[in-house]
Structure 1
């Protein structure tokens, strides 16, 4: 039996039912987060929870639990499902009420749900690298909000999949923004480049971990937008997310990056990232 999060309770999976009037279902009116679990421990949970509350604030949704309470519930969810390595998905919607574009009254309670999944680290992708393709970024202009409105990302990811690629690298005109479910980095002449954390990208938690790792290994950072041409000319390219970690990109639309080999700086970043992963708890 699996267990899910439903508001402030851990319940059997079958107890979680979506109300047809839920605004998340009808409007995508809500936000979400994904937290990685390593060796039974939540990784960068505080940062993810902080961003969850920030996204809620940006869409004027009040979360009816403290950050401490939410953290406790997520920990209980991991324990109930006996997750060793995997991730938690959780979301909150503005609640269920008669369909109306206008926000519901204050007596309509938000709906919090969550699930925990066992999943291995993406070792093959980390070791060998992946292929990517360029896709026009057709999403809205508030990509800094981790909202449930992911249709633009879904369409881009599907296009990448149909081309035999792992990721779609999005661009507005000639300017690279991010991946369909990742942040994008380029390394050129010993400098790490990535798009500034503004409204056009999600300020990824793994992105921030990578920037910290870069500082620790003396890899200079420039938060500066890249063009498609500049990205193709990079010595190394990386896509990163909670579930992708530090994934090398070795080919974009048939053009090899670093002759199709994983670069040395990428290996150093991967190694430094690995030092952040919680060790197994010993008793």
Structure 2
């Protein structure tokens, strides 16, 4: 995946080779910061407003006060695409930390936040979207403030690695059997045409695609129920799927040794994929439902 040359920082736009920070950077040493990953389709941001608003909620939750407004950030991000000439499918990574200061647990005084953002080419993984994934279940050992999109991702990293080592693509996390979400996604169960998912409490990250799934369900008369389900309920599910900004909507075929439904992507999952593509403005030739997909 190609990394574009121009990056955004709190000091303005720089070439990627010019980006440096002091070694005493609080994001590096404490994980003292927040981030967002934003999908770009054919040079256009998707769900940008939702991501920016969540970024500001995350910053407020950990008391980072950025030197830029939401309006400024929208302008900077628009310029970033233009300066890089982005016209393809890509993703933006954006990070804000408390800044650079001598290492001390207390917040530093008179230290400005550090910002950086970059864009990379990122094609849709239509094979996984079409064919589905296998998952494992793991105890959710993360902290209690998962609604903050924090840089502290070690439990998520370990969970994702556990999935890989077990020939799976994602880990479904649970607290004493109650499913919260995935290591890098939100989790859903479909039963009798109804979509169930954990409520948007502090125990999960309220995904931007999750918000869109709720909107699409409500708009198209698909019951969307914010009610946590148990791991043991998966054996009786008609469908299970996961969502994230980079993965979009992934059908789950197997959870541990349990085959979900008939072992094929389900009707509701397929309909939501179709509605998602329509909402995102994905062209027919790139659609999961086109015979001419490129």
TM-score, reference length from structure 1: 0.96
CA contact (8 A) 1:41 1:278 kept: no
Whole-Å Cα distance in 2 between the matches of residues 273 and 55 of structure 1? Answer: 26
Question: Aligned match of 1:68 in 58, 67, 71?
Answer: 71
Counterpart check, 1:11 vs 2:14: yes
SS in 2 for 1:145: coil
Deviation at 1:8, TM superposition (A): 4.5
Whole-angstrom CA distance in 2 between matches of 1:202 and 1:165: 22
In structure 1, runs of 5+ residues without a counterpart are none
Matches within 5 A, 1:252-267: 252-267=255-270
Q: Which residue in the other structure is 1:194 paired with? A: 197
Shifted more, 79-88 versus 148-157: the winner is 79-88
Is 1:156 equivalent to 2:159 in the alignment? yes
Tell me which residue corresponds to 2:101: 97
Question: What SS does structure 2 have at the residue aligned with 1:275?
Answer: helix
Q: Deviation digits for residues 189-245 of structure 1, max 9, x if unmatched?
A: 111000000010001100010111111221101100111001232100010000011
Unaligned runs of 5+ in 2: 284-294
SS of 1:98's equivalent? coil
What root-mean-square deviation, in Å, do the aligned CA atoms of Structure 1 and Structure 2 show? 1.2
The answer for the alignment partner of 1:21 in structure 2 is 24
| Number of residues of Structure 1 aligned to a counterpart in Structure 2 | 279
* In 1, Cα distance between equivalents of 2:151 and 2:17: 22
TM-score by length of 2: 0.92
**Offset of residue 184 of structure 1:** 0.3
What is the match of residue 236 of structure 1? 239
CA deviations on 1:142-185 (whole Å, 9 max, x unpaired) are: 00000100001000001001111110100111110000000001
Answer whether contact 1:43 1:278 (CA < 8 A) is retained: no
Q: How many angstroms does 1:279 deviate by?
A: 5.7
1:57-96 residue CA offsets vs partner (Å, 9 max, x unmatched) = 0001101101111111112222233331011000010011
- 2-side partners of 1:102 and 1:232: how far apart? 48
Following the alignment from structure 1 to structure 2, what is the Cα–Cα distance between the partners of residues 82 and 248?
Answer: 33
1:139 aligns with 2:169: no
Other structure's SS at 1:76 match: helix
> Contact (CA 8 Å) 1:8, 1:73: kept in 2 or not?
no
CA contact (8 A) 2:139 2:176 kept: yes
User: 1:175 maps to which residue?
Assistant: 178
Match of 2:292 in 1: none
| Cα deviation 1:256-279 (Å, max 9, x = unaligned) | 112210001111111111111136
